[in-house]
Amino acid sequence: MVDEPVLRFDAVSFQFDVSGPWLQRVVGREGRRTLRAVDDVSFALPEGTTLSLVGESGCGKSTVARLAVGLYRPDGGAIHFEGQPLDVARAQPALRRQMSMIFQDPIASLNPRWRVRSIIGEPIRLFGLAADASALRRRVDRLLEQVGLSIGDGDRFPHAFSGGQRQRISIARALASEPRLLVCDEPTSALDVSVQAQILNLMRDLQRDLGLTYLFISHNLAVVRHMSDRVGVMYLGRIVEQGPASAIFATPRHPYTRLLLDAVPDPRGLRPSRDPVVGEVPDPVDPPGGCPFHPRCPLATDRCRMEKPAYTAVGAVQVACHAVAEGRGAIA
């Protein structure tokens, strides 16, 4: 029997209403406008593994992160946590505490009026994980040391720390409820490169020691390569390529995945020369028909302009591309 994944998305969709004010729409005779931020997204996240979602800004990856922890409710499809519908799981404190989130900007996600000890201890108090004040203090002290801070740091305020130290505080707070799933929304993008490496190594050590499962959101391919077991490449709300990280980085198949990888500097000059993919991301409020990538794709045909591609299995990788399905996926 195959173990149930910690998190599963089944054909999940979500849209934002970006309509103007009511009076403006009446006077201008405008209809409602919607932005489909997530479009038919499916994946399974087994225990103890990392799935990274990568793509340009506005592709929907952060919306997926918020859907995963119940901050948004999907308009279509289903999300399951520990084999139960997410709404049902979140109604049970024992399951709700098993999911937590690390946000992109640590200073914005930490209450500036609370001392660090109170910030980290809040989930412990909320879920009743400590019998008394002394047990609570011991748990907070252990979490501070676990993320590389000192016990004395618990008596300081967030503004007294560097960016990397604040993110360590955020990680300690996320771990306070003893979660199984951590949703990490660009957790290192606001940090210097040297500090990024320290935080990423800490997160890998914590995953190994605690058996954590990560849904990792990033636009940095070097970070994704370092952290991931599997990778999902998103474009205009849809996962266009998904599979083992090793396979996607070694042999990218979707033209958009190749665009992202070709944008990474290659100082040794080992990457094969290819015609660059040009153009800008289309307006997500008015996306193109057919394959959403076709206006920028050098392999696009009339079929790409008319028909949204289904997923094609290429080994362990799933690719949504007509060119790959038709065997013409090579870019010169």
pLDDT at 270 over 60: no
pLDDT at 297 over 50: yes
Q: Which fold has domain 7-98+179-325?
A: Rossmann fold (3.40.50)
pTM for the whole thing?
Answer: 0.90
Domain ranges of the chain: 7-98+179-325
Task: Put residue 206 in one of left, alpha, beta given phi > 0 → left and psi -120 to 50 → alpha.
Answer: alpha
Split at pLDDT 50, 70, 90, the class of 1 is: very low
Tally of CB atoms within 10 A around 201: 11
CA nearest to 230, candidates 52, 7, 60: 52
CA nearest to 49, candidates 180, 199, 187: 180
Distance CA 261, CA 243 (A): 15
Distance CA 36, CA 60 (A): 9
Name the percent of the chain lying above pLDDT 70: 94
